[in-house]
């Protein structure tokens, strides 16, 4: 299978001084709306316009199972993955009330869940690559061919969102064991010690975290790959995680705004940035969660999260929860008057 490639360019910067001038001449002291001004500048630069818009926001949840779960690295049992998919489809999960509240469309994707779904045809997007990854304590989680297929299929879901008129997309995940895979990506891609990358996941106590760390440390010791980004992603990743990477890269290629969620999705954009660094210029980081490694990977990426709410649910909840701030930034640059238009004396230089 040929390698999936993306054509991602940094947003053209010639518009930046014009955006900044517009923001600075709104009826407020310069810089007084803080991060809203930064967001407006970023979104206007992405969209190459002085009047940016947010149209038909879409949220994509990729679901997949992880072979490493048999080693006891997760507090939650593996059967929770398909059970939660049914919950998503019935509208009863945490992400559902947030997408309803903020007007997001939602797409749920079976990337590789160890379950045969029935009764969800036409609603659940079936892009299953396999019934869960392999156990990377002993072997690669997926083949290179499966990795490439995940990138392509993740990108295809974003294509569908874009064709439906969306210019802003957020990502979430469902996969028992995926905090472990995220920890493995984090340590391999950043050089941060594994112990600082391993947290409680869905609810481990300190002893549980220690057992989880020991299994992951053994997996890392057993790894005999070449250390390349592609090899790390395929050896330790989840199908849903690699699909999210493909989705993020395609969204950047299409010059969409990308909302990033918590620990798992931040490690997905870390992975994406190791392949195409320009992807980060399209990203807005929704929050800093309480998983131990999340702050460290955000710092590594020089990312500034919008919220500090102690969120750790996943599903993309933190990204969607932060959306009103993004919307406020766009409303600011479009709806506030300038000093000249409002006939207000400009009271600063």
Catalytic positions are 315
Task: Report the candidate in 300, 296, 307, 292 with the shortest Cα–Cα distance to residue 273.
Answer: 300
Q: From residue 35, how far is each of 57, 101, 178, 304 by CA, in Å?
A: 21, 23, 31, 9
Between the CA atoms of 105, 111, 116 and 121, what dihedral angle is there, to the nearest 10 degrees?
30
Locate tokens 């992880």: which residue? Answer: 66
Measured CA to CA, the distance from residue 115 to residue 88 in angstroms comes to: 15
Task: Report the candidate in 24, 56, 5 with the shortest Cα–Cα distance to residue 339.
Answer: 24
DSSP state of 312: -
DSSP string of 4-60, one letter each residue: P-----PPPSTTHHHHHHHHHTBSS-TTTTHHHHHHHHHHHHHHTSSS----S-EEE
Structure tokens at 281: 């210029």
Measured CA to CA, the distance from residue 87 to residue 99 in angstroms comes to: 14
Between the CA atoms of 105, 304, 192 and 225, what dihedral angle is there, to the nearest 10 degrees?
40
């Amino acid at each position: 299978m040929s390698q999936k490639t993306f054509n991602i360019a940094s947003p053209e910067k010639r518009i930046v001084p014009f955006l900044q001038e517009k923001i600075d001449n709104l009826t407020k002291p310069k810089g007084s709306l803080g991060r809203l001004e930064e967001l407006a500048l970023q979104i206007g630069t992405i969209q190459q316009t002085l009047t940016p818009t947010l149209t038909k926001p879409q949220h994509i949840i990729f679901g997949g199972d992880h072979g490493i779960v048999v080693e006891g690295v997760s507090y939650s049992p593996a059967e929770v993955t398909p059970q939660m998919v049914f919950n998503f489809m019935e509208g009863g999960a945490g992400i559902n009330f947030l997408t309803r509240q903020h007007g997001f469309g939602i797409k749920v994707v079976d990337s590789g869940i160890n379950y045969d779904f029935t009764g969800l045809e036409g609603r659940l997007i079936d892009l299953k690559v396999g019934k869960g990854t392999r156990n990377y304590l002993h072997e690669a989680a997926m083949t290179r061919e499966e990795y490439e297929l995940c990138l392509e299929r993740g990108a295809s879901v974003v294509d569908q969102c874009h064709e439906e008129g969306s210019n802003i997309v957020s990502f979430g995940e469902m996969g028992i064991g995926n905090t472990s895979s995220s920890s493995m990506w984090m340590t391999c891609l950043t050089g941060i010690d594994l112990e600082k990358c391993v947290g409680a996941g869905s609810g481990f106590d300190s002893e549980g975290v220690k057992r989880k760390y020991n299994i992951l440390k053994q997996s890392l010791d057993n790894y005999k790959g070449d250390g390349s980004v592609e090899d790390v992603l395929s050896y330790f990743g989840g199908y849903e995680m690699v699909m999210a990477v493909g989705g993020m890269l395609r969204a950047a290629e299409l010059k969409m705004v990308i909302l990033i969620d918590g620990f798992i999705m931040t490690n997905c954009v870390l992975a994406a940035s190791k392949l195409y660094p320009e992807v980060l210029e399209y990203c807005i980081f929704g929050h800093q969660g309480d998983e131990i490694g999340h702050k460290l990977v955000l710092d590594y990426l020089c990312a500034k999260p919008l919220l500090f709410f102690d969120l750790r649910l996943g599903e993309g909840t933190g990204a969607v929860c932060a959306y009103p701030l993004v919307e406020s930034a766009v409303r600011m640059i479009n709806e506030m008057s300038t000093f000249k238009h409002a006939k207000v004396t400009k009271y600063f230089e």
